[in-house]
Structure 1
Amino acid sequence: MAEVAALETADKPAIKASKPSQECVAGNTPFLDKLETSMVDILVGPDKKLFRVHKTFLCRRIPYFDKMFNGAFKEAGGVAELPEDDPAAFDLLMEWTYNSNPRRLRDLVPVIDSDMVSRPSWDVVAFYALAMKLCLPDLQDLIMIVLIRYDKRAHELPSIDFMSRAWAQTGEDSQLCDYCLQSIQWILTPPTEKEAESRWPTKEVLKMFQDHPSFNNAYITLSRTQEPEDPREIEDKCYFHVHGTDDKCPPNYKKRKNSEIETAEGQVLKRAKARGSS
């Protein structure tokens, strides 16, 4: 028995002597150090809604603002005005800017308003238009992913009002407008759902074509070149994305980031020239 006990004792690992714990490193503030303290003010919309944000976060995520506040055409006093933009869309942009994951957006969900009508929780057209203006193709693609997912879950397609605003705010060459075009082609192609004519009335569709002649031309071209297909169900998940066919989705971040910087430089230069001539 003594021999067995000796063997069991030999098999046990040696017990290390305990030592008292030490206090944490004093003055360690990595979050604050990452934020830094330099702030910039951005006045958005006709009522000049104030957004005071950390310059480091803003310029690191959005090259347009990096060129605006750190480039040759610095905004005086760290203040910029965006009178034509929607404060609600800019709020979405700032939330995305502060998020550590660039592939994450605020959820787009149905919300019941006071009239008991289900509406999306944020304005896709305004946010997409802002992303285009600030030269953020990755964000444009992300918005399209979120929109199509929402439309599938809600069993929706763009309304005439949505299409009209998209065409006016983002331009006929945008991927959002392409989604609208393919949506109306699918809606108008027989056999349509019984409710389609009441939900997309012929009178409103006709007005859409009259108000936007380029939409009319694009629709005719699409109808002559492509068979109607539900845009929510297109197999190529990147069909309505800005990135090229050779880029991965999520795309090559470094490659796309360089492209964003180059485009942002041109947009900021254009803004500076416009201010100089006014």
Structure 2
Amino acid sequence: MLFQDIFLNFGFWDALEMGLYFIIVGYFVLLFFYFLLIRYRTSKKLYWLFFSFLFICFGIGRVFFIIYYFFAPELYTGTNGDEVVAFLMMNYRLATFFTWLGTACAVGVLGILLFPPETQEGKTRGGSFKDWFKNRNNITLLVRIGLFIIPVVIGILTLTLPESLFIDPDFIDDYGITIEPINVNILGWEYPLCRFLWNFIFMPLFVTLIPFIFLYLAWKTFGVLRKSYALNAIGFFLYFIGRILQGALDVAVLPHVRAILPPLIILLALLILVIANTYEQLK
């Protein structure tokens, strides 16, 4: 049980990993309040609002992941497998949902940087539907909305699609449940279909997209902005690499490496992101 004297499902390395992720959650909360109350409150720029909610979404998602990986399995008594799996999957769905909401906020930041609202010309009034699409400002608006919506849709699908698309195959034996998982099979290796799509298809796309656009912005600018954009690219790249590594090392059954490497990479990424977005104050 969860409140028993001895935890049954994790040892030293699990405790170390959990502690590192609690530190990460603390940094997420701190960064949320910093960017919201100091940066956004004083500048009223939508950029900082997106940036602040990016961190709180990632933080909330990480809390649910901590429950999923460390605390929920302790509820298993040997006879309540269905209830424990339902609780596990609820936490996994919520964790993934908030993670993709955070990714949507990151894409929102990019949309503002690529197509700054204050630099766009006034909207044309009247005209046909065809004329509306000829307006470049309208096209950029659609691009910004489209980029933002994609991660949100993925998050909503995580909450609504059947559990069989997400459930860990090990749950079948560990908890004695009867759900038939829908897995992708690659040369005998099986992995839940939607987890495979989310973690190894869509997430790598955003891993590539977000840092690449920041690098593009660094290339197009000069001075402090160039260094800030370059550091943002490195920070986001390291963050998503840490997220992907956690799942990859879990699949590879490397608990010792998984306990240390991904959270340390994420902590380094957060440090770089803070430096990137306070660079002008550190000069």
TM-score by length of 2: 0.26
Specify which structure has the higher proportion of strand: 1
TM-score scaled to structure 1, two decimals?
A: 0.26
Q: Tell which structure's C-alpha radius of gyration is larger.
A: 1
